[in-house]
């Protein structure tokens, strides 16, 4: 390899890295402004031209926001919203993971008449916009007296876990050899024992990915809580933080809103960072890549 070829490759590599660095700076700039504004005073956050760094870091913004959102019987609304969100996360993640893997197991391991047709119908529901079913679902939950409770947000996810998750788990289970089931049957294991002792432990990568996806979906969900939850004490964190943008002046100013957004953003970032290995494993083993 001549020196000119090496030089061209180095220039090309340097150009690629330079472009990537520039793009990274552009994409990270809003996050930087979010952190910077959350540490400013109210006056600093509104001056023109805009400041990029606070003169004095206002760490107390992250403490004061808990009082700024208001209280109910001496308890900050923030903690009530957090409690509601945690309850939803636990129940919905459990329902999504367990029901999706159970349905996927039926589609991949149990033969029954019309299996392919039923699977096609389930996958076809992915094409139906959620707005189409919004009014019928609201009517059903209203008839059940479930409005302003967490029930409308929880129990639908125990009915299969969603077509997307079923599809992902089906693709993953198809990579597992059928000999596992056959060996278990020879040993006298029932279908339930085979599922819980063999298939479920082997499905940890895809189920972790499904669980993290469910976590982020619930954490960021604004439409459904806004539709079903009426009183402030029943709100979720997403709905509560969103309401702060409407009542900026009543909570103390823009820095408090930004501080609330930073606190709200941390759990999904931490969880995704910790579970990204399982995302890669699930994509590779499910055959979705490429």
43-58, pLDDT tens digit by residue? 887 777 778 888 888 8
Task: Give residue 3's pLDDT.
Answer: 75
pTM for the full predicted model = 0.82
Task: Give residue 254's pLDDT.
Answer: 82
Taking alpha carbons only, the member of 113, 127, 276, 150 closest to residue 208 is 276
* DSSP 8-state code for residue 197: I
Residue 252's pLDDT band, with cuts at 50, 70 and 90, is low
Task: Give residue 290's pLDDT.
Answer: 40
Task: Give residue 282's pLDDT.
Answer: 58
Quick one: average pLDDT of 99-108? 90
Structure-derived torsion over alpha carbons of residues 154, 157, 158, 163, reported in degrees to the nearest 10? 180
Residue 87's pLDDT band, with cuts at 50, 70 and 90, is very high
Q: Which residue has the higher pLDDT, 175 or 251?
A: 175
Task: Give residue 180's pLDDT.
Answer: 77
203-239, pLDDT tens digit by residue? 888 888 888 889 989 999 999 999 999 998 999 999 9
What's the mean pLDDT when you consider all of the chain?
85
112-170, pLDDT tens digit by residue? 888 889 999 988 988 888 888 899 999 999 999 999 999 999 999 998 888 899 998 99
Task: Give residue 86's pLDDT.
Answer: 94
CB neighbours of residue 262 within 10 Å: 18
Q: Which of 19-33, 171-185, 237-251 has maximum average pLDDT?
A: 19-33
Residue 288's pLDDT band, with cuts at 50, 70 and 90, is very low
What does the alpha-carbon distance between residue 154 and residue 131 come to, in Å, rounded to a whole number? 18
Candidate from 29-33, 98-102, 273-277 with smallest mean pLDDT: 273-277
Residue 1's pLDDT band, with cuts at 50, 70 and 90, is low
Q: Which residue has the higher pLDDT, 96 or 183?
A: 96
3-state helix, strand, coil in the chain (%, to 5): 75, 0, 25
pLDDT at 23 over 90: yes
Q: How far from 116 is each of 101, 105, 152, 158, 161, CA to CA, in Å?
A: 17, 13, 30, 22, 19
Task: Give residue 178's pLDDT.
Answer: 80
User: Radius of gyration over alpha carbons of the chain, in Å?
Assistant: 25
pLDDT at 284 over 60: no
């Amino acid at each position: 390899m001549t020196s000119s070829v090496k030089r061209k490759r180095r220039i090309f590599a340097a150009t690629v890295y330079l472009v990537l660095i520039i793009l990274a700076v552009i994409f990270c700039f809003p996050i930087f402004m979010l952190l910077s504004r959350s540490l400013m005073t109210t006056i600093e956050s509104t001056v023109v031209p805009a400041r990029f760094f606070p003169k004095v870091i206002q760490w107390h913004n992250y403490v004061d926001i808990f009082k700024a959102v208001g209280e109910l019987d001496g308890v900050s609304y923030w903690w009530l919203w957090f409690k509601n969100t945690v309850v939803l996360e636990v129940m919905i993640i459990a329902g999504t993971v367990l029901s999706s893997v159970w349905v996927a197991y039926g589609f991949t391991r149990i033969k029954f008449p019309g299996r392919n047709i039923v699977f096609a119908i389930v996958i076809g529901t992915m094409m139906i916009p959620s707005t189409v079913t919004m009014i019928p679902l609201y009517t059903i939950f209203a008839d059940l007296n479930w409005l302003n409770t967490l029930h409308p947000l929880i129990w639908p996810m125990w009915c299969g876990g969603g077509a997307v998750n079923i599809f992902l788990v089906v693709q993953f289970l198809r990579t597992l050899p059928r000999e596992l089931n056959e060996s278990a049957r020879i040993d006298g294991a029932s279908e339930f024992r085979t599922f819980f002792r063999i298939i479920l432990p082997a499905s940890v990568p895809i189920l972790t990915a499904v669980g993290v996806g469910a976590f982020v979906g619930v954490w960021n969900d604004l439409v459904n809580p806004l539709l079903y939850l009426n009183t402030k004490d029943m709100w979720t964190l997403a709905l509560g933080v969103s309401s702060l943008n409407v009542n900026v002046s009543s909570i103390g100013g823009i820095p408090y809103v930004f501080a609330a957004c930073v606190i709200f953003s941390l759990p999904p970032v931490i969880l995704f960072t910790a579970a990204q290995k399982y995302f890669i494993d699930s994509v590779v083993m499910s055959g979705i890549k490429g």
